[in-house]
Amino acid sequence: MVLFYILTTLTDLQGQTMTKLNKISFSKIDAPSKGIVVALAGEALATGAATAGLVGDLTGGLANVAEIGGFSGKKKTSLDLVAPGGLSLDRLIVFGTGAMDGLTRDDWRAFGGAVLASLKSAKAEAATIVLEAPEGEELDAELAAEFAMGAKLRAYEFDKYKSKKNDDKAKKTLKLTLQVADPKAARKAWTTAEGIADGVILARDLVNEPANVLGPVEFAAKAAELEALGVEVEVLGEKEMKKLKMYALLCVDKGSVSQKLIAIMRWNGGKKGAAPVALVGKGVVFDTGGISIKPAGGMEDMKGDMGGAAAVTGAMHAIAARKAKANVVGVIGLVENMPDGNAQRPGDIVTAMSGTNIEILNTDAEGRLVLADAMWYTQEKFKPAIMIDLATLTGAVLVALGNLNAGLFSNNDELADKLQDAAKASGEPLWRLPLSKDYDKLIDTPNADVKNTGGRWAGSITAAQFLQRFSNDVPWAHLDIAGTAFGAPKGDTCQSWASGYGVRLLNQLVADHYES
């Protein structure tokens, strides 16, 4: 049943502007004669025809000015000319693309982010970008849209709690005009790309919010807002979950005063009755570790322990916004893990929805308990073609892979290959790690069917082995995004603590393999 009352209990999360968004428009290539202009140059200062005409009257010529400035068109370098001599422009920024051979969607997205950073540094309020390939080749609409996406993602700031920010500055938006060969095609491509970018931004917003503002109720309400895009949303409360015997999930939240919820988001864009793609997300809105309490240092980061649920919600936004011709269901388990007189204890044994008895050795291994019931419910209720879960699950995956790759585990090689292809195409990298029956021995226990942790060694693998028991042989993959959802190195398209990792990846997977 849908808990409509959650929509009336929202905090100031709703209606807040948490990002400084750019207004992006497209027009024909026609080098402007005023304002701030960004032009592209490749190796050896190669330029397109419009740019060549634009800089033709530059005092000293582009080559001489570039030599003085130490600019050669090398990838992601720039030459910034204020009131350039011989031109009527306020500012000319020449941005280097390097050699055109081998440039990818990732590169063009990164270019957009890097150019946006330059314009922000210049405190620009409007700029025109002459988006033509330096070697004269026409830049296609999809790459122009990737450039625009990079700019929008780089513009993201989470500053709603900065009380001393300049209100006038906060109201300003940077207006970008992208001059392209085919504006109509670029606008169409941007409609799709912007929906994806908005999904990433939604995921970032959710992860960045503090837990006193974004609890399970507020998170479910944000999911319910997707109804405006045509997503069907249902929310299960504690009463419904008890009827379903979801005691693995319910035990996690026993020490918290917050509500326990499961939000179900359904996009029915494919053939009627076709088995859906199922996305399942861990949504622990704050994780103290429970009775097995975490060290104080860094515990504040555990407001992001719902990064998997955020990625699923953002992906559902992206899929719905571009009206994907696929059936997709997103299921997120929303709880809080707190220590309390009612909290579960190490040594407790709980029964999951599947009937599996789980011995709790460590209450800080709680995300897999949430996913156990959410995954079982998903495969039993929706009979999906595939099922993918995402979770900030283990610190062990950080030890193995750092912040650069998410861990991929799967019981199906074909699905794993599709995910790795989608990872390359979307720019959100994965690295596959092993599963085998030998690792199951590490989570065996004489006291129950399974224990919830295998100890220190192979921690991310034993967590995945635990989850595999609840896939019920559905083609399934587990993505451990503990290293990539937040705290990852900042880059051209993200300066935020929260990255929104997983949204582009999941959208790419659906687009490439599961649309009719």
Residues recognised as catalytic: 294, 368
Residue 403, SS3?
A: coil
Q: Which residue has the tokens 């922000």?
A: 120
CB neighbours (10 Å) of residue 490? 10
* φ/ψ of residue 236, rounded to 5: -100, 135
Three state DSSP letters for 418-441: HHHHHHHHHCCCEEECCCCHHHHH
What letter would DSSP give residue 132? -
Question: What is the bridge-based pairing of β-strands 476-480 and 386-391?
Answer: parallel
CB neighbours (10 Å) of residue 511? 20
Q: What is the DSSP code string of 234-280?
A: EEE-HHHHHHTT-HHHHHHTTT-SSPPEEEEEEEE-SSTTPPPEEEE
Nearest to 404 by CA among 461, 305, 481: 481
| Residue 63: both structure tokens together | 């080559």
Helices and strands in the chain: count of H runs, count of E runs: 16, 17
